Amino acid sequence: MKTARITGTATQYAIGKILCIGRNYAEHIRELGNETPEAPVIFSKPASSVIGSGDAIVIPPYSKDCHHEAELALLVGRTGKDIPPEEALAHLAGYGIAIDLTLRDVQGELKKKGLPWDIAKGFDTACPLSDFAPVAQVADPQDLRIRLAVNGTLRQDGSTSLMIHPVRELISYLSGIFTLEPGDVILTGTPAGVGPLVSGDLVEAEIPGVGALRVSVK
């Protein structure tokens, strides 16, 4: 069983659904040549894809192009359905950082065929995830800096202020489709600067005041 821990406490949650948002930063949409959607784009990862800081990413043999995508992660702490935006943050237990790993070549081929691309997003080790800072520690989830470096070279450096759909809106929207339960994790999209990883890389991601990750690539 994969668990999520609140930093500085003994509180842990069994990880449930991992709901992910695609195309939530305009510059990232442009760098991949995608269209801007009217509503949030949703996909999911299994809890089995989670690894922690200090662990290793294993790129599946069926891919030659694995990309990093650093994201603000939300940990649900209270059950909710059809949550109004103004009440959304009260349903969270914490904030963390995640790396949404994407097999870009596999995803591209499946999208061309109109097929689901779960195997490009949900493979084992596809979701490096930090511990979570308590919600009270974060004054404004729309005023956070997301940074990711590979082998010491900064690749992603963005702000959650640039989200197309902000955190409150995402929680409300998702809760209209899925009942959100304690232990569910929401990945809120990635800023521009995504790029490939190869064996031997060291990946470091951080949201100051929230969490940090350091993972290697086998």
Cβ neighbors of 205 (< 8 A, separation 6 or more) are 68, 70, 97, 99, 128, 130, 146, 147, 148, 149, 156, 212, 213
Residue-wise pLDDT for 165-182, tens only, equals 999 999 999 999 999 999
Q: Please give the Cα distance from 136 to 145 (Å, whole number).
A: 18
The model's pLDDT over 73-94, given as tens digits with 9 standing for 90+, comes to 999 999 999 999 999 999 999 9
pTM of the model: 0.97
> 25: which 2 tokens?
């930063």
Q: Which domains does the chain have, with CATH numbers?
A: 3-217 (3.90.850.10)
How long, in residues, is the chain?
Answer: 218
